[in-house]
Amino acid sequence: MTPEFARRTYQEVVDHMLGTLSAQGILTDTAPGSVTRTLVEATSREFAELYARMNAVYEAGFLETATGSSLDQLVALIGLTRLSGETDIVEMRFERDNRVSARVIIPAGAVVTVERADASRVSYAVLDGDELRAGENTIEVALRALPDPDDPDADLSVNGDDVTLNNATFVAPIAGIASLSLVGPSVRLGTNETDEQLRKRARMAIASAGGGTEKALEQALMEIEGVNGVRLRDAGDPLEGVPLRPGEIEIILDGDPKDMEQVKQAIARAKGPGIIARLASTQNVEIGGTLVIRPASATLSNSQALELVRNCEALITETVDKLDIGDGLQWNRLLAALMSVENLGDILIDQSSFTLISTIDTQTIAPGDVSIRETQRLVPGQETNSLIVTLEDRPTLLIGVQLTADITEPTGPVIDQFTTELRQSLGTYLEAIDTSKPNAVLTLAETVTALAADQTMTVLTDQITLTNFSLTALETGEGSLQNLTSDGTQQLSIPQNAILRLADPIVSFTWEDPA
């Protein structure tokens, strides 16, 4: 804070001195042109200049008020220098790792090596820290060339051939960023870095390197593989959890870091001295249930109805995936987004419900706002707790498969390939069934015959037999479960205008080792 009277204007000094002389009754003739006023005005001019210079010296000691050469000397204390107009700047596009859905911190100073077409390498550093927000897949970031310590006059530019080669790699990978690419050739900054630009860069450097700040802790932890998000609370934070005393903080990690020792070291390095850090992890709350919708038209074909259902479910999943730690679901926003889906007429809230499953309990609620604790994350339900969208007056049958294979359990890639091929083949077969007509049926024998004849099936095809293969059908509206098993004579009656969908997961396995 600026000290009181750190700076007085010329008129303020004159008025103060004349007022003091008059109050003391020593010199009372202060009219313009008098000897007293003339002497006071001459002296006040020098005092005003002194005040101005002292104030400038004071402001030169702070990042927010220092300017010009004073700012240059101040940021030199943390190893920064003002960028000259000759500095090369390049833009790079950072792409998200699809395994990470939360925001990704891109720290200022992160170094990238660019291999040029002539096989030489130059280094660039992120100019200003940024972040890839939840829901964003790419971000374009400016980087500046780092001088070559062995050759200060070296050419550090990147040209069109270098962009075509597009060989850029992180010196230290950033968790959550899968790849990076050059947007275009480098350009010269043109003019020296302004005071405000230099201040911004200095703030980022202090936050990332100084330690003891929320930003420093967050950035240090977000760089660790497996950490998707960070939330902090202290004794003054009203969040639920273990009571904290002054000097204690709770660090809530979202994700599954592979190296907890690395996490502990990052906390010790970034937290302030004398601060006790307690580590906690987030708990997932799965949201599932059934959302009953009414299409805008009663004449939708089966394929159109299925597309409507899938679009609604994809939108709900995308909305939930974008939520951060502690963020609840805002029903009005989700409802507004759903109503923009093509062919959707209405959502029947009185016939719908949400199911919330956590490690503590399970609860069923009517569609509406969903609140969670600050240490929890809302995630789309998996398997039996998935959120299913179904149409009013058009029942939905979820079709699943049980395969009892008389072989030793194969490796993962074989199972993954079989699951993918089966999903494609069985999905095509089900879509061909005309449910608009009454008395439509599904038999195991016909299904097995169709799958065996499909040339796109390449693995485990010898296991698709009436003996090893069975179908399971769950009617979502009624909750009734039907099984079609080995003898092949059973029939599944399909309600008229029903939508046939594949369950997720589509297949469950039982391995019977022939040995």
CB 289 within 8 A of CB 340: no
| Averaged pLDDT for residues 299-306 | 82
Per-residue model confidence (pLDDT) at position 93: 92
Q: What is the pLDDT of residue 94?
A: 93
Contact 145, 123 (CB under 8 A): yes
Give kind and range of the element (H or E) at residue 76.
none
Q: Which of 158, 53, 138 is nearest to 96 (CA)?
A: 138
Q: Are 104 and 50 in contact, with CB atoms under 8 Å apart?
A: no
State the average pLDDT over residues 311-319. Answer: 90
Q: Find the range with the poorest average confidence among 232-236, 340-344, 427-431, 492-496.
A: 232-236
Q: Where are the beta strands (DSSP E) in 320-411?
A: 344-347, 353-357, 362-365, 376-380, 387-391, 396-405
For residue 55, give Cα distances in angstroms to 47, 66, 70, 269, 375: 12, 11, 13, 37, 48
| pLDDT for res 2 | 44
For residue 488, what pLDDT is reported?
55
Predicted confidence at residue 178, as pLDDT, reads 87
* Angle 474-480-481 from CA coordinates, rounded to 5°: 50
Per-range mean pLDDT, top range of 28-37, 351-360, 499-508? 351-360
Query: Which residues make Cβ contacts (< 8 Å) with residue 495, sequence separation at least 6?
Result: 395, 397, 435, 475
**CA–CA distance, 314 with 320 (Å, rounded to integer):** 10
pTM to 2 decimals? Answer: 0.52
* pLDDT at residue 312, as a whole number: 92
Q: What is the mean pLDDT of residues 179-206?
A: 80
Per cent of the chain over pLDDT 70 is: 90
Q: How far, in Å, CA of 344 to CA of 332, rounded?
A: 16
Name the least confident of 31-40, 143-152, 253-262, 478-487.
Answer: 478-487
Largest distance between two CA atoms of the chain: 123
Whether the predicted pLDDT of 372 surpasses 60: yes
Answer for the pair 139, 126: CB distance below 8 angstroms, yes or no: no
pLDDT at 481: 63
Which CA distances in Å does 313 have to 114, 226, 306? 42, 27, 11
Closest CA to 485 of 504, 465, 499, 460: 465
- The span from the CA of 330 to the CA of 319, in Å, is 10
Return the SS3 of 293. Answer: strand
pLDDT band at 151 (very low <50, low <70, confident <90, very high): confident
- Is the pLDDT at 100 greater than 80, yes or no? no
Residue 3 is predicted with a pLDDT of 46
- Tell me: the pLDDT tens digits for 8-58? 788 888 888 888 887 777 777 777 878 878 888 888 888 888 888 888 787
